[in-house]
Amino acid sequence: MSRVREQYRVAFDSTLDNCFHVHKDNGKTLRFQEASRRLYYFDTDDRDEEETMLITTVDNNKSKLSALDFSQAKRARALQRRIGRPMTRDYIRYVAMNMIPNCPVTIQDIKNAEFVWGPDLGCVKGKTVRQTSPKVRIEVTSIPVTIMQQYKNVTLSVDIMKVTGIPFLMTISRHIKFGSAGKLDNMKNSYIIKHFKAIIGAYVTRGFRVTIILADNQFESMRGDLADLHAQLNITARDEHVPEIERYNRTIKERVRGNYTVLPYTHLPPVLSSRWYTMPCSGATCSL
């Protein structure tokens, strides 16, 4: 109101009508009436007080593309939503590095989709900014060159993330960047160790060996059980977290929120939280 008053004359008389009248220099009067929520608004559909609004529409952008390019742009946007709504720059990187098998779209299709519709709504709503945590550095015992294979010894970062109260055991390996998530039916140590055995076994079958596990104080009681799996547990200081797994959890939450914020439903059953799907993540396949 104060900013409008600096530019135009504003009149209000409740005895005549419950409206603010803004008198413009060209002789027109804009009528701001009260809405149901007690805010005053100007109805742009009022033909007697019609104003010109210049906006960019989808139809206008669509007309600048051929029918084939527009069809491919729709396919590119649908694929972006299907793989978890990554940011456009990440989406382009996935396609450029051939990280999506049998990808039906090109980089230009992605750019055309961005030109027609702008950024994906789920990406915009689901991404939030968080300060980067300091990286945990671990001294690893040297291995003779003759038997050393690149990244054979794996450092695994772990954490428990809850989604609507349902716990998931989250893991991601340093350098390899292979992430996994397993739904926990309960929080007993014996049950969590079963998940650790399955995860470590997956690395062993591929020729890797999990030697170090980075975690917070929540996993201190499992030190002996993890030692039986030939893995050394490294616990962070109090009120600290492992940066790799925290960043991985953030990526998962962002992409889930990206889909959740655009769903037309008011409630989701818990069974949807335990589904498994795959998506690209930093050069590897991350399973959730």
Whole-number average pLDDT of the chain: 81
Q: How many CA atoms lie within 13 Å of 8's alpha carbon, on the beta-carbon side?
A: 16
Select 153-287's CATH number: 3.30.420.10, 3.10.129.10, 3.20.20.140, 3.30.70.1520: 3.30.420.10
Mean pLDDT of 265-277: 61
**What are the residue boundaries of the structural domains of the chain, listed by start?**
2-49, 58-119, 153-287
* Residue 134: strand, helix, or coil: coil
pLDDT tens profile 117-161: 888 888 888 776 666 777 777 665 554 444 346 788 889 999 999
Residue whose token pair is 């492992």: 242
Phi, psi (5° rounding) for residue 149?
A: -115, 145
Core vs surface per residue 145-158: b (16+ CB within 10 A) or e:
eeeeeeeeebbbbb
Q: Report the distance separating Cα 149 and Cα 157, nearest Å.
A: 21
Q: Where is pLDDT greater, at 133 or 225?
A: 225
Alpha-carbon dihedral angle through residues 247, 180, 172, 126, given to the nearest 10 degrees: -10
What pLDDT score was predicted for residue 152?
84
Residues paired with 234 in a beta bridge: 214
Does the pLDDT at position 116 exceed 60? Answer: yes
pTM, whole model, 2 decimals?
0.47
Q: Where is pLDDT greater, at 148 or 68?
A: 68
